[in-house]
Structure 1
Amino acid sequence: MRRLDRQNSDDLFEQMQNMIEEFQNKGMNLATEFTGHMPIDVREEDGNLIISADLPGVQKEDINIKADGQKVEISAEASQEIKEENEKYLRKERSSRSFRRTVQWPREVDEETINAEYEDGVLEISAELSEDEGTEIEIE
């Protein structure tokens, strides 16, 4: 039997989440609001862990980030003001979207160093890796 470690469980969770979102979105072709998929990358660079998330069409002020222990929750709302005078829509899907994703840091980070930047539809959240190697326990 194959052991389920954090990497595999994260992949399994993401696959399940993608399947649920795909199922929900298939029935929402004519919906005006939906929860969008937020693709991410997590990388290590120069002693930092960096999460990059694609949030196209979202304004900086509509993004919320919450750090809680060793995870980060990203949520965002994107809406477009569309003039509807004399418009006759046959299909309307672009008026409002929301994004939400919780990401577990793959290694321990120093929460005091978490920083976020947003440019051209890409959110980058970075944090320094924790230097705490843990406490060595003496056996009595």
Structure 2
Amino acid sequence: MSTLVKTHFAGPSYLNGFFGKDLLNEFNTPAFSGSVPAVNVIESKEGFRIEVAAPGLQKSDFKLNLEKNQLTISAQKEQKEEDTNEKYTRKEFKYSSFQRTFTLPNSVDGDKIEASYSEGILSVALPKREEAKEKPARAIEVA
């Protein structure tokens, strides 16, 4: 099952509990240009995976925090540009950041969450607890 999550949720009701409390901060001031990256959420038998499209960042720009069942993904990047010649020095600073918080279902094993960043995509693996994984069908004999 593959689901693309947007900032409004018009999907199945079971996704509302997982993503219904999506919090995001976006600022638009002269020194800041912020935007919220696109997010994909994929569910498998083993767990969930959140993919965040965030090109141009480094691994060190990201912070992930898990508190209770709230996973917060944030990034901040500061860019400095300086041009100096005999008559003047020009400095420009640009800050960009985003933050998204997801309410995780109780089926996610918070101790085993892992994240990686490659080719502009932050991938967060959210494995399910063993007791929450779907078990194969089995026949039960009547004694």
Aligned AA for 2:129? S
Cα distance in 1, alignment partners of residues 20 and 126 from structure 2: 25
Q: After the TM superposition, which of the residue ranges 119-128 and 5-14 deviates more from structure 2?
A: 5-14
RMSD of aligned Cα (Å): 3.2
CA contact (8 A) 2:17 2:103 kept: no
- What is the match of residue 85 of structure 1? 84
- What is the match of residue 68 of structure 1? 67
Runs of 4 or more off by more than 3 Å in structure 1? Answer: 5-14, 86-89
- The structure that is helix-richer by fraction is 1
Aligned AA for 1:59? Q
- State the structure with more CA Rg: 2
The 3-state SS of whatever aligns with 2:81 is coil
TM-score (norm 2): 0.63
CA contact (8 A) 2:41 2:51 kept: yes
The 3-state SS of whatever aligns with 2:130 is coil
Structure 2 unmatched runs, 5+: 1-12, 133-143
Pairing 1:110–2:103 present: no
Structure 1 unmatched runs, 5+: 134-140
Deviations 1:73-92 (A, max 9, x none): 01111122312336999xx7
Summarize the Cα distance change of 1:11–1:85 in structure 2 as closer, same or farther, 3 Å threshold.
same
